[in-house]
Structure 1
Amino acid sequence: MQNNILIVEDDMAIREMMAFSLRREGFETYKASSGNEALEQLNQVHPDLIVIDWGLPDMSGIDLIDMIRRDDVIKEVPIIMLTARAEESDKVKGLERGADDYLTKPASMLELMARIRAHLRRSSGFETNHRIEYKGIVMDADAHEVSIDGNPINLSLTEFKLLKLFLQNPNKLLAREHILNHIWGRNTFVEDRTVDVHILRLRKALKKHHKEKWIQTIRGVGYKLAHT
């Protein structure tokens, strides 16, 4: 599957060169010349990785990273800072504020590409176990398989995504808007009722294993997964 990379860089020559090199390597690229333009892009697409310059015309790259890390939908996306600021204190600040990696200009495209691929491998699970367990529910996210107390359960793609979201956030209240953004995307026009319908379907699948009551309704707010 093609990975999406968002490039946030105010220098047009550098931005276009990076986009060209990434497309040549098989990546889908999105470009932004400012922090606000990047935020607009993030309302349209959920990138697999973001490359951010420090010195943007309307805000610092650090401030943009702060906004991304506070957003529940995209806060886990890997971020590489690519900047002319080469002081060790700047690198420390960038990493402490939420960047996953820090490269100083001029950086070779070969090195940037290698670091992009390394972060994508980690974020896609090649270096982590995508097995999630909760009270007898076992999900293998890579194999797209779920079992309850050792018995396999068949779920639609949406039901699978819903259950994965709940398993990743056990005993945590998930608002309908939060669920909508994660499952259908922030810019998709889907009614809150759609969440309720798919929750009903997930409960129906869990009922065969006597776990339907684990998906609890918090009236007027959303849902949470809790062992009863």
Structure 2
Amino acid sequence: MILVVDDDLQMLGFLREVLEKDGYEVEAFNEPYQALRFCGQEVPNLIISEVRMAEMSGFDFLHTYRTRHAARKTPFVFLSALSRPEQISRGLDKGADDYLTKPIDPGLLCAKVRSHLRQANAFGLRVTRGNLHQLPFTALIRQCERSGLTGILEVFGEDIDVSLPFVAGRLDEASVSDEVLEQLLGLQQGRFAIISVPVAAATITVPEENAESFELSPEEEDLFRALPEPEELGGPAEAPFQLPASELPVEGIATLPDPPPPLSLPLVSAVAPPAEGTDPGVAAPGGMLSGLEVGGKLFQVQTEIIEGIPRRIVTVATYRGKALVKRDRECPRWQNREELQRQMAEQHEKVESEVRCRVERFIAAGRTAAGQPYRPTFDELFQQGRDRAAAGDLARALTLWEEAAHLEPGNALLLRNLELVRAKLAAS
């Protein structure tokens, strides 16, 4: 999404028309303060701003945005009628990534936008968005920990706008007060954005947990055995996901037949392919992350566009950090962003439907290990404790979280919650 700020309404209309025609989602504001409020609820991929505005100068707008959202590293471009060399130099010295002058050719503007978005992607700056009603806050924190996030988790609610910094999958606890943490744990609705700055090329990572601390229940082991990946239709063959040796199927355990694989739809582009020797490299939109609860278990589904030759849309469904389903399709680099977003959403929804269908079939087949007592996972205990705390049952929340602490005694967020609930119970 591109944010455009200019107090000239005619110019705003021109920029919106040009950028939307090139396939971008555009948000336009003629007042910088309104744009700043919007940025407190959404994460733009690039900002274009005039310098000379009545309400606030473009320099002040840039400074305020960078101060409030330093970790975003959003590409910022001035597009201004101020065109003297010293004015351009000042804009660049203020921290803008580029300075363009009016009037501007539509083709040049779009080329500059593509260039800055490609550069941001090349440095690994990625934004993944989702909704808290699909993925609860506790599960979202776990996702950031398991993916080894270095960057920022931004959470937006009706009365909250919080940035949580992560380094190598660890939350900077000092940056979060107890009051804010309680408010976050109680959120039922809202949005989030994960802004990652990986040290390597952008990819969907599915790190394995420590074998000594990670153990699937018998039911979960059967689930992984029963849901092998079907082969993809079309495209090059890819090595299937391999379970660790300790989780390979054993004799005497039958497996369910796989459901038919999803149809591989042909890729159709509304724009012509590039001429030989050229590469317009339409910048990829941000990723998608959602939670899918089936049979009392929470699966995470993540979709990203992975740059390379060819460019690929990759979707991975995980459970407790382990990959269950992975889908991968090629897409031409000359597709516009609207088509890319449509194909991402289509593949994301298909994987969600596939996981739901296969897990429900697994449960319906009654494949629970006979005679084995069910052991709740850390995530389940953490979420149940959160639900009880939100309902005011602090004693039960404490019991659940203490049980969770036996499974992961060093979990920093859990320890903070235990301190909070014990203090509340002592004061009551």
Q: TM-score range by the shorter chain?
A: 0.5 to 0.7
How far residue 57 of structure 1 moved from its aligned partner, in angstroms, is: 1.6
Partner of 1:226: none
Match of 1:29 in 2: 26
Query: Alpha-carbon deviation of 1:160?
Result: 3.4
Q: 1:172 to 1:43 in 2, by over 3 A?
A: closer
Can you give the 5+ residue segments of structure 2 that lack an aligned partner in the other structure? 128-138, 152-165, 188-208, 215-407, 418-428
For residues 76 and 55 of structure 2, the distance between their equivalents in structure 1, rounded to whole angstroms, comes to 19
What SS does the aligned partner of 1:26 have?
coil
In structure 2, C-alpha distance between the alignment counterparts of 1:100 and 1:159, rounded to whole Å = 34
- Between the aligned partners of 1:218 and 1:52, the Cα distance in structure 2 is 44
Task: Spell out, residue by residue over 1:63-85, the C-alpha distance to the aligned partner (whole angstroms, 9 max, x if none).
Answer: 00000110136641111000011
Q: Give the percent of matched residue pairs that are identical in Structure 1 and Structure 2.
A: 25
* 1:20 paired to 2:17: yes
Residue in structure 2 matched with residue 136 of structure 1 by the alignment? none
Q: Could you tell me how far 1:25 is from its partner in structure 2?
A: 1.1
**Matched-pair contact (CA < 8 Å) for 1:68–1:74:** no
Greater Cα radius of gyration, structure 1 or 2: 2
> Per-residue displacement from partner, 1:92-116 (whole Å, max 9, x unpaired)?
1111112111001111111111111
Partner of 1:159: 142
CA offset digits 1:133-168 (Å, max 9, x no partner):
xxxxxxxx89xxxxxxxxxxxxx7653335403236
8 A contact 2:144–2:169 mirrored in 1: no
Q: Structure 1 residues 219 and 171, CA, compared in 2 at 3 Å: closer, same or farther?
A: closer
- 161, 166, 185: which is aligned to 1:193? 185
User: Residue 129 of structure 1: CA displacement?
Assistant: 5.4
Aligned to 1:51, the other structure's residue is in SS state strand
Tell me the distance in 2 between the aligned counterparts of 1:96 and 1:214. 43
Indicate the residue corresponding to 1:71 in structure 2.
Answer: 68
Alignment partners' CA distance in 2, 1:212 and 1:113: 52
Q: Is 2:86 aligned against 1:89?
A: yes
1:128 pairs, out of 119, 123, 130, with 123
Q: Distance in 2 between matches of 1:173 and 1:94?
A: 36
Please tell me the residue identity of whatever aligns with 1:128. Answer: F
- Report the CA distance shift for 1:51/1:170 in structure 2 as closer, same or farther (over 3 A): same
Match of 2:175 in 1: 175
The structure 2 residue matched to 1:80, chosen from 74, 77, 81, is: 77
TM (norm. structure 2) is 0.35
1:128–1:217 distance in 2 versus 1, CA, 3 Å: same
CA contact (8 A) 1:8 1:34 kept: yes
Distance in 1, matches of 2:409 and 2:96, equals 40
Give the unaligned 5+ runs of structure 1.
131-140, 143-155, 181-189, 196-204, 221-228
CA distance in 2, matches of 1:173, 1:88: 46
Distance verdict in 2 for CA 1:115–1:218, change over 3 Å = farther
In 2, Cα distance between equivalents of 1:44 and 1:115: 26
Aligned residues: 172
The CA RMSD measured in Å over matched residues stands at 3.5
- CA–CA distance in structure 1, aligned partners of residues 27 and 173 of structure 2: 33
Secondary structure in 1 matching 2:167: helix
Matching of residue 119 in structure 1 with residue 119 in structure 2: no
- Distance, in Å, in 2 between the alignment partners of 1:218 and 1:70 is 31
Q: Do the aligned residues in 1 keep the contact of 2:8 with 2:30 (CA within 8 Å)? A: yes
Query: Are 2:7 and 2:31, in contact at CA under 8 Å, matched by a contact in 1?
Result: yes
After the TM superposition, which of the residue ranges 167-176 and 34-43 deviates more from structure 2?
167-176
One-letter amino acid matched to 1:175: S
Q: 208, 211, 224: which is aligned to 2:213?
A: 208
Distance of aligned partners of 1:193 and 1:158 in 2 relative to their CA distance in 1, 3 Å threshold: closer
Q: Secondary structure at the match of 1:63?
A: helix
